[in-house]
Amino acid sequence: ACVRGLYWSASSHSPTSGPPPGAISVLRMRWRLSTLRRVSFSWRPTHGSCAEDRALALPISNSAAERSEPLVTARCLPGQADGLELQVGRKVPSQERASPNPPSRIARVVRLTAVPNPRIVYLEPVPAEVEAIIRSRMPSGFALHVRDREEAVEAAIAEAEFVVVATTPLPSHAIAAGKRLLLIQHQGVGYEKTDVAAAAKMGVPVAVCPAGTTIGVAEHVLLLVLAVFKSLLLADASLRRGEWLQWELRPGSYELAGKKMGLVGFGRIGEAVARRAQVFEASVLACEKEPSRQLAVRAMGGQLLSIEDLLAEADVVSLHVPLTPETRHIINAHTLSAMLPTAVLINTARGPLVDEAALVTALRSGQLAGAGLDVFEHEPLPADHPLLQLPNVVLTPHISAGTKDALIAKMDACFANIGRVAGGDPPLNPVTL
């Protein structure tokens, strides 16, 4: 059961009176501070109408006293089959109990009730066909609300225990509206649009979802490379106009075999791209700072280079790093000038990794042969953006991980993580400050 507090009240129990009348013994209890404002435990009442083996994620005070050794007793509430009253306090050291004004052993009284159908809000306005897929993966015991495009984020999450988000921004004022939130679950691994610090202040963990991303993105990288190398858009459009450019396209068409695939970042997706590139008989160059991932590069026969050397040698440069202050505009006028004039740039990671104005200049001048982009500095891409006018660019609307297969895998992982938190356990893949 997912349990939330109905109201708080101060306790008047004296430090020597022991548990209040009707308190039950806790046969099994576990607790942890997954944030400074949350304690999780499970319990089994010895009598009364409460169901057995329930779990709770409980917000607690941020005071130093209550952060140390929370003390919990529980009793069933009269007439409420799923009601529970919890006494949350701390163990008082013997020297404090012996003082002239000993502190109360009970710090708070929390009255709670089980939420029969915890509410999950999916923040992305999606077509009915996509919503049907999401609902088909829903576990039992939860209620799902999919936000309408006209619905304010604050209104959508006001009554939610859980939020699943992909690209919708979650600034501090929006998070503050979610008074009941137990988890903000990202559908992917990017969380730069969520104010994680604001969530942490509210005691709400933020988690990411690595599942369902790797294969789709890796395949999309190869799709973009081949589309640029073979002038696919021009070949298709000219044929539809009645032109037959059997010979005209050959001087600007290339094979991936024998080329150098340069990967800036060698995490899960970078490695998956490398393996697919090797199947096409391309060699792998990689720029990676993490020692364990450097070992992975060497293990598959790749060559580790500095980013400067990689840009100077690679026929294809594909970006696979997170967006941070250090990586913002990692591709700029200076780095573009270091690339081969025959090279192709691929970005399926985060749009702001690339200075788009500098990229447009390089593509127009012939300083760079082509580009394949699935992400942009501002999304949706404005209708008057100069990238849309360039014939040597292939553009897709942030769909590299947008397959039905990936959506199913992501929803299964997201809902499983929500189930963990509803059951009193900390989420997997939490974001840390």
Q: Is 186 a catalytic residue?
A: no
Determine the Cα–Cα distance for residues 139 and 422; give it in Å rounded to an integer.
12
Catalytic annotation, pick one of 44, 67, 398, 420:
398
Catalytic annotation, pick one of 108, 379, 385, 420:
379
Could you give the strand order of the β-sheet that contains 370-373, starting from the edge strand earlier in sequence? 303-304, 283-287, 260-264, 316-319, 344-347, 370-373, 393-395
Q: How many CB atoms lie within 10 A of CB 44?
A: 16
Q: Is 385 a catalytic residue?
A: no
Catalytic annotation, pick one of 38, 66, 350, 356:
350
Determine the Cα–Cα distance for residues 356 and 341; give it in Å rounded to an integer.
17
Determine the Cα–Cα distance for residues 358 and 365; give it in Å rounded to an integer.
11
AA letter at 408: I
Q: How many CB atoms lie within 10 A of CB 389?
A: 10
Q: Is 119 a catalytic residue?
A: no
Q: Which helix (H) or strand (E) holds 304?
A: strand 303-304
AA letter at 254: Y
Residue from 76, 79, 36 nearest 54 by CA: 76
Considering all CA atoms of the chain, what is the largest pairwise distance in Å, rounded to the nearest integer?
97
Number of H helices, E strands in the chain: 14, 19
Instruction: Please tell me whether residue 309 adopts helix, strand or coil conformation.
Output: helix
Determine the Cα–Cα distance for residues 309 and 296; give it in Å rounded to an integer.
19
Determine the Cα–Cα distance for residues 112 and 98; give it in Å rounded to an integer.
33
Q: How many CB atoms lie within 10 A of CB 376?
A: 20
What is the DSSP pairing of strand 33-35 with strand 303-304? unpaired
Q: How many CB atoms lie within 10 A of CB 19?
A: 16
Determine the Cα–Cα distance for residues 158 and 151; give it in Å rounded to an integer.
12
Provide CB contacts within 8 A for 232, sequence distance 6+: 226, 394
Instruction: Please tell me whether residue 117 adopts helix, strand or coil conformation.
Output: coil
What are the catalytic residues?
A: 350, 379, 398
